[in-house]
Chains A and B, each alone.
Chain A
Amino acid sequence: MSISDSDSPLETSQEIRQGPKDEGSTSDLQEQGPTSRRARFRTVFGFIGQLPVGSTLILGTLIFFAVFAPLLAPHDPIKPVEGIYTYTPAAWKDGGSWAQWLGTDFLGRDVWSRIIYGARVSVIVGLTGTAAAGAIGMVMGVVAGYFGGWVDAFIMRVVDAWLAIPTLVLAILLSMTLGASMWNIVLILGVVYWTRYARILRGEVLTLRERDFVKLAEVAGASRIRIIARHIIPNVFNTWMVLASLTVGVVIVAEASLSFLGV
């Protein structure tokens, strides 16, 4: 008796507890399902609708070609086209053919294919180079701004010194040391361009450090690493993204200049 008594209320209470919950969740699904899906659809569509048309088209095309380069390029970008080992002009000029509609370069390589693969290199180097610079700059800037004192003074003097060395020359010196592969170039661009992040983020951190929520976290006994990860970095992330978006172009042009100089 006593067992069944104690069992039944448990069961009923479970039933009671489960019942409305189930009903609620199904009714939620039934009622909100279509609207939430529509809302989600609307936010996705609205996001696309808000994008500037021109820039999206240009970037979209670029990224499309970068991603699908092996499928879209008619020829190998590095090897000469079979049977052609010299320069041929573009299709609309005398002596050009539509098989290689932009012509071939002086080694007989298809120019159109080279442009497509070039987009790939530009996108990869632009994004990863920016990420590398951003990562170094974020660490240096936040450390300098948060810890202050001689650490700050030292990092900022390094930043000043970096500014005095011509970026291209610094990059060339580094590539002579490391050897010039694509990933080395990414690393080098990171080492060259981190200073602008460090300088600006440091300034942001200096003001953040004095804000109440950081002070409170310190009083509450949060470790420095936790404060940096939870309170400082999320608050400078916006600035970081803006800087990164500005750096992508700079990095791509720098990479182009480096390969122009034969690095």
Chain B
Amino acid sequence: MRRLLYSFITLFVLATTIFGLVRLTGDPAILLTPEGATELERIQIREDLGLNETLLSQFGRFISEVATLDFGTSFHLGQSVTDVYFDRLPNSILLVTVAMAFALALGIPAGIISAIYNGRWMDFAAKSLALTGMSIPGFVMALTMMFFFSVKFSWLPTFGIGTWKHLVMPGIALGWYFAASTLRLVRSTMLDVLSSDYVKLARLKGVKERRVVMRHAFANVLIPLISLTGVNFVVMINAATIVEVIFVWPGLGSLLLEAVGERDFPLVQGIVVMSGTLIIITNFLIDIVYAWVDPRIRLTR
């Protein structure tokens, strides 16, 4: 209950912050009118958009909009913000899911391998592979991949959405960064667990090494891994902006960037508040998954 209250306060702070921030950036009427427009036309537009009201009444209207989850009409698209948002959301989720799958598929095995072969060349190789992704900015990675896979070999399409081929490069460009943090977590937790008494006991009992690693050691990695993945999932939706812009992926990141550029107040506010709500829901889901994975938590509650 307390957490629910906190969530609402967080949402309120978020809404207030973003409401203030977008209004600091300038006047949308200048962008919405053609070059030689008169002041009268601009005043007309401000009146149409409801920007001539006092800040307080605008804020009141915005908060009541948030409460009903209806964010009004986008300034420059002319469509309902909620419609635009839910049009783009599946694309974002698709991209982030693929990227996360790539991050986990690279990070977990690499983490396990580097923990088992701690200090040897396999450890070094796995770590280098993951750290490469962390230290290269997303756009450099994206453009380099485009150069090789699209321009040189023309295996993959450079931009757009449609087939699975469109997903490969954005997924890797976005996911590689997160593979590194996954690897670190898996590696350090595995190292801890592998030197624990019950793993030694299991080995003494003659349990096969494969089973020791997967069953006894890896099971302990799951809890922190879920927590990290949950956080990363949210961070990823936000971090996807650059990748979406480069690959012209019609997701939420590029939509938000476009909205910011156009000073489209309702759209910016809508996307940010909706994403905030999603984050809060995700955090709740993570807690539920915890209990499902770890019997200890389930029993104590």
Chain A interface (Cβ < 8 Å from any Cβ of B): 153, 157-158, 160-170, 172-174, 176-177, 249, 253, 256-257, 260-261
15 new A-B contacts at CB < 8 Å, known A163-B279, A249-B135: A160-B14, A161-B17, A164-B272, A164-B279, A166-B256, A168-B239, A169-B268, A172-B257, A173-B22, A173-B25, A176-B25, A249-B134, A256-B139, A257-B137, A257-B139
Contact B241 A253 (CB under 8 A): no
- B9: Cβ under 8 A from any A Cβ: yes
| Minimum CB–CB distance for A87 against chain B, Å | 17
**Bound state CA distance, A166 and B272, in angstroms?**
8
- Docked Cα-Cα span, A153 to B11, in Å, equals 14
Write out the residue numbers on chain A whose beta carbons fall within 8 Å of the beta carbon of B22: 173
* 5 residue pairs from A and B, CB less than 8 Å apart: A153-B9, A157-B9, A170-B21, A177-B26, A257-B242
- In the complex, are the beta carbons of B25 and A260 less than 8 A apart? no
Once A and B bind, how many residue pairs between them come within 8 Å at the CB atom? 86
Tell which of B9, B18, B26, B242 touches A165, judged by Cβ atoms closer than 8 Å.
Answer: B18
How many residues in B have their beta carbons less than 8 Å from beta carbons of A? Answer: 34
Q: Is B57 an interface residue (CB 8 A)?
A: no
Q: Which residue from A161, A174, A177 sits with its C-beta under 8 Å from B10?
A: A161
- By a CB distance below 8 angstroms, the chain B residues around A249 are 134-135
Known: A161-B10, A166-B238. A260 touches B17 (CB 8 A): no
Q: Is B138 an interface residue (CB 8 A)?
A: yes
A166 touches B241 (CB 8 A): yes
Q: Shortest distance in angstroms between B71's beta carbon and chain A's nearest beta carbon? A: 15
Please determine whether A169 and B13 come into contact, CB atoms closer than 8 angstroms: no
* Residue pair B6, A157 in contact (C-beta under 8 Å): yes
Contact, CB under 8 Å: A261 / B253: no
User: Does B40 lie at the interface of the complex (its beta carbon under 8 Å from any beta carbon of A)?
Assistant: no
Is B24 part of the contact surface with A, judged by Cβ < 8 Å? yes
Interface positions of B from 1 to 51, Cβ below 8 Å from A: 6, 9-11, 13-14, 17-18, 21-22, 24-26
